[in-house]
Structure 1
Amino acid sequence: MIMKFSPTVYLDNYHVFLNFNPLMSKKVKDSNKIQQVVIVDDHEIFAIGLKHILEINLGIKAGLHFSCAQAALNYFKNGGGADLVILELYISEMNSFNFLEQVKILLPKINILVFSMQQSNFNISLCKKLGVTGFVRKNTYLKDFLQAIEEVQMGKKYFPEFEDEKASEELINNSVERICQQYRLSRSEIKILDKFLEQKKYREIADELCLSPQTVRTHKRNIYRKFGVRNMAGIVGLLKLELERG
């Protein structure tokens, strides 16, 4: 009798190690909820390995890979779709937070799983705030990666637990407060900025704050002008600098 073994994979610093485990979760392998995956990562060898993992374990053969975020963004602007985007948080040619913002505008309900070595508590907390579906460290085991996919398929979020999570959230909130004071944002602008950082849309913000969508747009333009940026990614960059200053 020949036993069929499903491979498990340990991902470590962009190297893919294959071992064999006869106890691979059948629940994941039989799932057909995710049909189209877009991988955005500037390390081609890693992306190829990840596509292989997706095909073997989930039966996903149509995974697309983009080595630059702008190419992936153009794909979505031209009508391309995906059930899931797997995104490296730091890619050389484009700010990933800018990519996140623009993709969320084009496809508000799209699932985005950050798969990155940049695993600081701050980055994880910030991804949560920006509406990312999940965060997986690249030095994880396959079972954890597949668990993240399962959680996404069930409409849940997947983030690793870490110490001082509450402290990281408070640190972000304090950084927002300091830069708002530094750039002299009004109370209304601060409220609206906080809503945008939560990835809420114009209509949602307008309804929650009892404003018109046009008023929300005007406030957003004024916020960008005061910060001297063109998008939310610029504001995120200011937040990171403020955090580094302490």
Structure 2
Amino acid sequence: MKKIFTLLVMVALAACWVSCSDDDNDNENFGKNGKRLIREMHTEHGYEFFIKFDYDKDGYITKIENGYYKEICTISRQEKKVTYYYDGELSEISTLNDKGYVISEDYWDQEKWRKEYTYEYDNSGQMIKEMDYETEDGTIYTWKDGNIISKEYTDQEDSAEYEYYTEYENKSNIDLAQILYLWEDGISIADYCGKISKNLLKSCTHTGSYWERYEYEYEFDEKGYVSTIKEYLMKGGNKKLNQLYHITYVE
């Protein structure tokens, strides 16, 4: 899948609906999983970009404007098919299962459609495997207590481990844990890759051919929604601010 933006990763939303707090705004400001809809994310420190989202009446993402790549992705949803257009050109088609989760993905190579990836889920609707259709290489995801705790690549020794703030629930429709170095596939942003991680990401540690560790801190608005994410690079025993993410929501 074409990458939506550098080093950002997102996973999809759960298909179920959960009730919202009485203190929240009208339901039109919430996704199909009952979580607050993110309108825009932009950075202040490090590399600069913005990304904006539009939604349909059911809370599915219909358009993604990417300020880093200066492109617009529009998304058309049918019963068991999702079609992606980049800057108006048909690019990819995803096939969905009965639960609405993507199970395969095809792309247009300028001559014909080719199957690119296949996806597998556990009985809880959590994605556990993403495989390249042609090479059969891919990524294995391990979950615990509602969160992805590790990913391993089948064709290399590299892997990653994740820790979470168990006291902080992710209240946003887009999985903020996956925004930060889990998936780079654009498909993950668009509601169709199974359940999201339950809590907010605390740290990400890469191991294998290289070692790299990031830690995360959060600021919240008056209603308890994440408004700022501080990303720190841990290197040589030092903690250095690497990026600031600012989030606004649909009003």
TM-score (norm 2): 0.27
Task: Give 1 or 2: higher strand fraction.
Answer: 2
- Name whichever structure is richer in helix by fraction: 1
For the pair shown, which has the larger CA radius of gyration, 1 or 2?
Answer: 1
| TM-score, scaled to structure 1 | 0.28
